[in-house]
Chains A and B, each alone.
Chain A
């Protein structure tokens, strides 16, 4: 199986400038964004992305894949006390992150689920990206 362990799908963070531009657009609407921590791993059949997005609910999560760019936006409501924290270590901001994903992902079949503040995206590989064994037929 080891020989199949080639990285079929490339994932690259979208440039900081592009992300920052998007965040600025959102910021004009009075919403601030932070970058969520993300794990990405690849199996033979799919790419799995998990992101820590605490404080968000599924109604506030948007996932899109367009032109090879996977965008994750998780809107977060203000924390319950509603006021500025008196002591702060994290910003209760919304989350935004974008990755460029090679076209080896089957965009139609992306699955997203949210549980306990963790977003899990399953991106199945398009058939052509799966390792294929070509059978040689005898004449």
Chain B
């Protein structure tokens, strides 16, 4: 069965940030209880920019905040717990509720003014285009 690829170096920053946070709280290497890495994200790169997808089932657009500032992308989602259901009524309880937040460190060269976020079927997609200045330019060589 295919396992995630963890070999992509340019994204070490992204993991680094998480480790920094975990270290700061003295929990590095341990499974975190509250403040787990949520929502889970995938990052896709192409020539024109980055696409970040996040699984946010049951979250309404109004309870979702996406902020891109400088080199940080922050995704905050809130999922309300169902009301009126007592603990004793549960046979099984695996889903989590409350507020989840994720911060990703972005690579340089993205145009954070042009970020587009969309939500469909419990999946958030954030598109971060590269800044024009960051795209490769072909320099014409003129004959002297």
Q: Range of interface residues on chain B?
A: 35 or more
User: In the assembly, what is the distance between CA of A47 and CA of B1, in Å?
Assistant: 34
Contact status A81-B95, CB under 8 Å: no
One of A27, A38, A47, A116 near B94 (C-beta < 8 A): A38
Closest residue to A5 on the B side, CB-wise?
Answer: B88
Contact B11 A86 (CB under 8 A): yes
Residues of B within 8 A of A (CB): 1-2, 4-5, 8, 10-11, 14-15, 37, 40-46, 51, 53, 55-60, 82, 85, 88-96, 121-123, 125
Known contacts A38-B92, A40-B91, A54-B56: A117-B121 contact under CB 8 Å: yes
Interface of A is mostly: loop
User: Per-residue 0/1 for A29-43: is the Cβ within 8 Å of any B Cβ (1 yes, 0 no)?
Assistant: 000100001111111
A21 to B53 Cα, complex, angstroms? 30
Q: How far is the CB of B70 from chain A (nearest CB, A)?
A: 19
Question: Is B125 a contact partner of A41 (Cβ separation < 8 A)?
Answer: no
Q: A54 CB to closest chain B CB, in angstroms? A: 4
Residues of A near any B CB (own CB < 8 A): 5, 7, 11, 27, 32, 37-43, 47, 50, 52-57, 79-81, 83-92, 116-118
Indicate whether A87 sits within 8 Å of B14 (C-beta atoms), given known contacts A39-B90, A41-B89, A81-B51.
Answer: yes
